[in-house]
Amino acid sequence: MKVVKVGLLGLGTVGGGTVNVLTKNAQEISRRSGCEIVVSSASARDITRPRICNTDTLHLTTDSQEIINDPDVQIVVELMGGIEPAKSLILEALSKGKHVVTANKALIANHGNELFVAAAENKVTLAYEAAIAGGIPIVKAMREGLSANSIEWLAGIINGTGNFILTEMFEKGSVFSDVLKEAQELGYAEADPEYDVEGIDAAHKLCILASLAFGMPLNFERVYTEGISTVTPLDIAYADELGYRVKHLGVARKTKMGVEMRVHPTLIPEKRLIANVDGVMNAVVVKGNAVGPTLYYGAGAGAEATASAVIADIIDICRDLDTPTVNAVPALGFATSALEELPILPIESITTAFYLRLSVEDKPGVMAAITKILADHGISIEAVQQKEPEQHGDKAQVILLTDSVVEKSLINALTEIESLDSINQPAVRIRVESLQ
């Protein structure tokens, strides 16, 4: 049986998981790929550190360059993360005719356009299934499974840490900061949680998903991003009363005006399957104009779940290794020459429904004043509830669900509402998606 040698750049959680899965499923993987896939070498900053995998048969090195230069290594797997030196190492590996597999979403989101061209020029594959939603084969689904469709929109829970936090807040009524601490203790959140809870990690993934969906170059800097640190258990509870769950969603939508790319807390009707995706799990809904809504669910992180996607990419490459026509499936699913720059809408121009919470003085005429301002701005109200103050002196809470409205109009209306005498705090607003 043909032996294919793989070199790993990075031997942390995902690298160790990749070695472990290749070992434990070696027989199954050979039966599927027709090859014996061998990790021959791995680089790491400190090669004396204990590893989650057996390293007896690996050549360990601190010098990634050694792996890139090894003529026996046909596939380089980049699992270091970060932009440099990952980017330079990948470019060099591609230029030496090696296929590259990466799980590096930040790198693909920021520099994928350049990297994909380099791969195509060198007639090798740059695969990145593991960069989005861990073990869920969402890149393959979008690039190949749904290739007959014009994609209308997609919406995903694509950060497990954020979903764990919102799930705990919902189930236990806890505040954000407490759950974040718990997530850090459980190892679900980093010591510096900004990438996860402020939506940057989700924005990296969303940007790639949007390009896969609409056939446009990657535009990471154009993704609108809002985190979950301002979400309160009060709003989660009020949303629940109205029949909604609050999820941190990445949404990409193609409209006649242009493309929306946004990551923000979102109310979703509790009846939708994705509203019931809890804990650290991930899921992506993709709406095609032929197939209708489809959903893909699974573990978005973890050593072996991510390794599952890394190795699927390796097997894809092995299955095509003897083929002169490489890159049969283009990196973003559309021929590079067929990618189109599409207008990307600023958040102010986007139309969504809104959940609003206003803290108001409990006196006559307040509700009338609020609803009049909304009406003046052409904003219809879907539902309204007034919650009386729990203690004397507290504010009453007015909860509103609006119909779809251009964000700019809503902001204008809220500016007027917030200037009312009886309103002393800024309104809480969370976007609502029906996902139908």
Cα distance between residue 25 and residue 304, in whole Å: 11
The answer to whether the annotation marks 11 as part of a ligand binding site is yes
- Concatenate the DSSP letters of all residues of 168-218 into one string: HHHHH---HHHHHHHHHHHTSS-SS-HHHHTSHHHHHHHHHHHHHHHT---
Q: Rounded to an integer, what distance in angstroms lies between the CA atom of residue 111 and that of residue 197?
A: 23
292 lies in the binding site for its own copies (CB under 8 A): yes
Residues 368-427 that bind its own copies (CB under 8 A): none
Q: Is 13 annotated as a binding residue?
A: yes
**Count of residues of this chain found to bind its own copies when the rule CB under 8 A is applied:** 68
Please tell me whether residue 208 binds its own copies under the rule CB under 8 A.
no
Asked if residue 319 binds its own copies (CB under 8 A), the reply is: yes
Q: Does 7 bind its own copies (CB under 8 A)?
A: no
Q: Which is nearer to its own copies, 216 or 430 (CB)?
A: 216
Active site residue 205: yes
> Helix 13-24 to helix 303-319 angle, to the nearest 10 degrees?
60
Question: Does residue 105 have a known ligand-binding role?
Answer: yes
For its own copies, the binding residue among 107, 118, 180, 312 (CB under 8 A) is: 312
CB of 383 closer than 8 Å to CB of 320? no
| Residue 149 interacting with its own copies (CB under 8 A) | yes
Which listed residue (75, 203, 251, 277) binds its own copies by CB under 8 A?
277
| 227 annotated as ligand-binding | no
Nearest to 211 by CA among 247, 250, 248: 250
| Pairwise CA distance, residues 138 & 211, whole Å | 13
Q: Does 25 bind its own copies (CB under 8 A)?
A: yes
Instruction: Give least dist CB 311 to its own copies, A.
Output: 3
Q: How many CB atoms lie within 10 A of CB 170?
A: 18
Query: Can you tell me the distance from the alpha carbon of 381 to that of 358, in angstroms, rounded to the nearest whole number?
Result: 14
331 binds its own copies (CB under 8 A): no
| The two three-digit tokens of residue 213, written as one number | 């969906």
Q: Which of 29, 91, 261, 267 binds its own copies (CB under 8 A)?
A: 29
Answer yes or no: are the C-beta atoms of 163 and 282 closer than 8 Å: yes
Among 48, 325, 391, 436, binds its own copies (CB under 8 A): 325
3 binds its own copies (CB under 8 A): no
Task: Determine if 28 is a binding residue for its own copies (CB under 8 A).
Answer: yes
As measured in angstroms, the least distance from the Cβ of 53 to its own copies is 13
- Number of helices followed by number of strands (H, E) in the chain: 14, 17
Please give the residue ranges that form the binding site for its own copies (CB under 8 A). Answer: 17, 21-22, 24-25, 28-34, 129, 134-137, 140-141, 144-150, 215, 273, 276-277, 283, 288-299, 302, 304-305, 307-312, 314-316, 319-320, 322-325, 328-330, 333-335, 338
